[in-house]
Chain A
Amino acid sequence: MISEYSFEHSVTTKQIFDALKAHVMRSRTAITTVFLGLYGGSDTASAEMPDVGEITAFLTNQTRKSDFVFKISNDPIWFMVLAQSGEREAAAFLRRLFRMVRTEGIPALNNQKLLFSASVAEIGNDEGTFEELIAVGALALKKSLSKGPEQIEYIASFKKRPSEKVRVSILEENAIYRDVLHRTLDNLDLGHFELEIKEFQDGYEFLESKWYLSSHTHLILMNDILPRQSGLDVLHEIRRLPNNKRIIVFMMTKRSSEEDMIYAYESGVDSYFIKPFNLRLLEIEVKRTFERLYTC
């Protein structure tokens, strides 16, 4: 019976944070940590101090099941880890919380009205340590409390997303147009995504190169009709790969038949361009696609 097992080690706050931080890299989903302090809390005599246990329970109740709330010993300060949230979501959550505790109060404390301030740090990479975060977060909280109630201090030092290499393959028979596509993609500013672009004149050359077999996110921009092996052949081949979700396929075609489009989407293309098309459209589509890779 599993309920009879007892675990030798209990998990620490640091371990939980480190696990979530590692997940940031794999899932490309930011987490945000919050230091929440009771305004005027340290000046309050202990007899007047509200029941912090009830406040912790209230805060846990206000967060999502995927979030964590920890009380800092001795001080009326709480450390929260908001999983799957960016800085903006965290700020919106805090403003909602501030309004609620100011106007309605905390039910378990006889609707006692309270005021908080906070510091917020979005974690976009796995470089910073837990200890660094605690030090910087606590300092920023002090600053926001000194400014007054319902203040938020933002910490930018953990936010930067690591640069990520993305492979791009251009499969197009016409050398001049292939070059135009290459230059267009090369000129794109995609933030922390770094494009490594290669050109292929047909599907056969691309499949033979085996360049698509790496674990990189891979954007394939290809014509449907190509000599030797067509774009559709390539599409079927790569969608058979076990880890094919990392491959994004943009198909270009001269045919404007809706049936062809439906077939291409059913076969696994992510976007479909009918030639001739505006290069600005391609640029914005690529930008949006890469922005979407980060969910928050």
Chain B
Amino acid sequence: MLKIPIEILIIGICAISLVIVILSMYLVLKGTRDHIVSRKKKKYIQNKQDTWYRYFNDDIPLPSELIPNNNSEIKAVEEIFLAYVENISSPIIKKKIREFSNQYLRRYYLNLLLHRRWSLRMNALYRIVSFEIDSLVDECKKYAKRAKLSSEERFQLLIIQSMFDEDSFINEFGDLLLMLSEYEYKKLLVSFSVEILEKLTLQIDEFPEEYQYYFIDVLGIKRNFSFLTFLENNLSHDDTEIRIRSLKAINEMGMITDLDRYKVFLDSPVWEERLMLAKLLGAFPLEQVYPYLEELLQDENWWVRSQSARTIGNSKDGKSRLEMFIATAQDQYAIEMAQEVLVRGY
């Protein structure tokens, strides 16, 4: 049996106890400090939220009592601002938050930007965007040049650049996007204003193929009619995928004006294009497009037949047209499809 001298054992126990005591003291102190911060924060919110409401909604100068005196109060202001910017859209409130943050919160976020803890630096980057703290843009430019950047930091810095330095951002976008994952790229595009996206449509040909496709998908998500001309011009593109995705994006907008432009897809060798046409025809009165839909109802591809039966079925008087079709048509596949839509009801 291993024999440990009693003195060593006692010293060991004392050392462990000491560590435990120091650790406990640290935890108690930290807990107390957090508690004090949170209490001060709560108190500030309770006492000042009414004044903040009046400052934001009335035409009054900034009451000096709102200026935070310490970090706890800054955290309280941060919470109040976040509640406003995330829930309320008002150019006036936005401007007041921007001016206040640039004047009274700049130093706090600058310190966070330089902090060694990643999560605090990220917080600062998020708040610069939320509160539009443009006085920290130069700091962010320096930050972007750091050798070690996480993908989250890089992404957030790109958003900051797109917000405050639009021209350089658009010029560099072709190179910048290569650093992004598909998810980040789409997220970034969705966050862009219509104006930025419009400018980017001029250089889309320089993007790698996949990035062109995502770009078109995002235009569909945005559902803004200013992109319609760009998307319609894509309908004669050599790349099939670009044509299909443009048709999809146009379908998302739910409105097409010039039917002749789309008729060519009736004879497309690509079934996805015929499918999209069957969907898009739903935007027109059935009377006007029924002959095309009837042709597509007898398509060789199941998806095309199914979509065109649904488009007819969803139109006014569509059900009776399908019944008429069943009574007179020869194509058994098409008849079954029409019957299916009638039974299902959509």
Contact = CB atoms under 8 A, between A and B. Distances in A.
A275 interface: yes
Interface stretch (A79-87, A174-182, A232-240): A174-182
Contacts of B89: 276-278
Interface in A254-292: 254, 275-280
Interface in A162-201: 174, 176-177, 179-180, 183
Contact of A180 (B45, B79, B83): B83
B41 to A, nearest CB: 12
Interface string B75-100: 00001100111111110000000000
Contact of B86 (A276, A278, A279): A276
Contacts of A174: 83, 87
Contacts of B191: none
B90 A279 contact: yes
A277 B88 contact: yes
A276 B53 contact: no
B132 to A, nearest CB: 14
Interface residues of B, number: 15
Given A176-B45, A176-B79, A176-B80, A275 B90 contact: no
Task: Pick from A180, A252, A277 the residue with the most CB of B within 10 Å.
Answer: A180
Contacts of B79: 176
Nearest to B252: A258
B49 interface: yes
A147 B237 CA distance: 79
A187 to B, nearest CB: 9
Nearest to A254: B86
Interface string B22-57: 000000000000000000000001000110010001
Contacts of A183: 50, 53
Nearest to A182: B53
B54 to A, nearest CB: 9
B88 A278 contact: yes
A145 B46 CA distance: 64
A174 B45 CA distance: 13
Contacts of A252: 87
Nearest to B76: A176
A157 to B, nearest CB: 37
A225 to B, nearest CB: 13
Interface string B198-224: 000000000000000000000000000
Contact of A177 (B50, B57, B87, B90): B87
Contacts of B84: 176-177, 180
Contact of A275 (B45, B53, B57, B87): B87
A176 B49 contact: yes
Contacts of A278: 88-90
B84 to A, nearest CB: 7
A140 to B, nearest CB: 44
B329 to A, nearest CB: 33
A32 to B, nearest CB: 39
A112 B85 CA distance: 71
Contact of A276 (B50, B80, B85): B85
The 4 closest A-B pairs by CB, nearest first: A176-B83, A276-B89, A177-B83, A177-B87
Interface of A: 174, 176-177, 179-180, 183, 252, 254, 275-280
Interface of B: 45, 49-50, 53, 57, 79-80, 83-90
Given A180-B87, A252-B87, A275-B87, 16 more contacts: A176-B45, A176-B79, A176-B80, A177-B84, A177-B86, A179-B53, A180-B53, A276-B87, A276-B89, A277-B87, A277-B89, A278-B88, A279-B57, A279-B88, A279-B90, A280-B90
20 contacts: A176-B49, A176-B80, A176-B83, A177-B83, A177-B86, A177-B87, A180-B53, A180-B83, A180-B84, A252-B87, A275-B86, A275-B87, A276-B86, A276-B87, A276-B89, A278-B90, A279-B57, A279-B88, A279-B90, A280-B90
